[in-house]
């Protein structure tokens, strides 16, 4: 995600470059598992003091449903609008002083927004940050309409069926059902013994 902007920096304010991106993201962030490339159109606009980077992008990340914890493919869409600042003047190679930069103070301090001495503009870090921001806080299986995650409901139903097969000591069961007469006799013996001990 490197762009040589030496030529663009020599052009007047308002000059534009467009790049169709289809970028492999597998090395971008060890904590993100990408299922597809970064797709979108990147626009580079020469401004008074640098280059304005804009564009709309999409990719896909593997994550887990917040409800059923099954792995899911999460589409991630985001926009970029960032002012990049050249570290050096392209014609002379002279290092630019920060006060020569016209723009937001926070852009000035952000190392991710610096165009290096070789006039390489690198969007990797702003893309990485934008993807994290665009990820849903509670990713879920993609179901349509109201209600809960269908996988979770299915899982709970299965669990319920398992319980119906098994647990003799299920408190719900003893409350609801009559005690087997054979057990009733044993329970009576136990109760009597308990009575004697106290
Ligand atoms: Zn789910």
Q: What is the pLDDT along the chain (198 residues), one digit of tens a residue?
A: 999 999 999 999 999 999 999 999 999 999 999 999 999 999 999 999 899 999 999 999 999 998 888 899 999 999 999 999 999 988 888 888 877 777 677 667 788 999 999 999 999 999 999 999 999 888 888 777 666 788 888 888 888 776 665 555 555 555 545 566 666 666 666 666 654 544
- CB contact at 8 A, 57 and 79: yes
Nearest to 110 by CA among 118, 100, 98, 119: 98
Distance 155 CA to ligand 1 centre (A): 10
pLDDT the model gives residue 198 = 43
C-alpha span between 47 and 32 (Å, rounded)? 33
Distance 140 CA to ligand 1 centre (A): 5
Query: Which positions ≥6 away from 4 have C-beta within 8 Å?
Result: 118, 119, 120, 121
Distance 64 CA to ligand 1 centre (A): 8
Distance 156 CA to ligand 1 centre (A): 12
C-alpha span between 60 and 168 (Å, rounded)? 47
Helix (H) or strand (E) segment spanning residue 91: none
- CB contact at 8 A, 12 and 55: no
pLDDT the model gives residue 42 = 98
Distance 14 CA to ligand 1 centre (A): 47
In the chain, domain spans: 2-134, 150-197
pTM (predicted TM-score) = 0.73
Distance 146 CA to ligand 1 centre (A): 14
Phi and psi angles of residue 20, each rounded to the nearest 5 degrees, phi first: -80, 120
Distance 138 CA to ligand 1 centre (A): 11
pLDDT the model gives residue 81 = 97
Distance 147 CA to ligand 1 centre (A): 12
């Amino acid at each position: 995600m490197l762009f040589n902007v030496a030529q663009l920096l020599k052009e007047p304010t308002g000059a534009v470059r467009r790049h169709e991106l289809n970028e492999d993201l597998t090395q971008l962030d060890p904590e993100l598992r990408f299922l597809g490339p970064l797709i979108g159109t990147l626009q580079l606009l020469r401004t008074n003091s640098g280059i304005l980077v804009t564009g709309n992008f999409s990719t896909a990340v593997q994550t887990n449903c917040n409800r059923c914890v099954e792995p899911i493919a999460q589409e991630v869409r985001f926009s970029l609008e960032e002012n990049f600042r050249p570290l050096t003047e392209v014609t002379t190679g002279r290092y630019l002083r920060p006060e020569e930069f016209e723009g937001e103070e926070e852009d000035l301090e952000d190392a991710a927004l610096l165009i290096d001495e070789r006039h390489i503009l690198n969007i990797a870090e702003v893309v990485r940050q934008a993807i994290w921001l665009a990820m849903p806080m509670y990713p879920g299986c993609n179901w349509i309409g109201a209600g809960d995650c269908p996988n979770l409901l299915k899982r709970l139903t299965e669990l319920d069926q398992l319980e119906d097969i098994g647990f003799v000591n299920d408190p719900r069961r003893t409350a609801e059902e009559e005690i087997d007469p054979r057990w009733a006799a044993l329970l009576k013996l136990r109760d009597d013994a308990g009575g004697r001990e106290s």
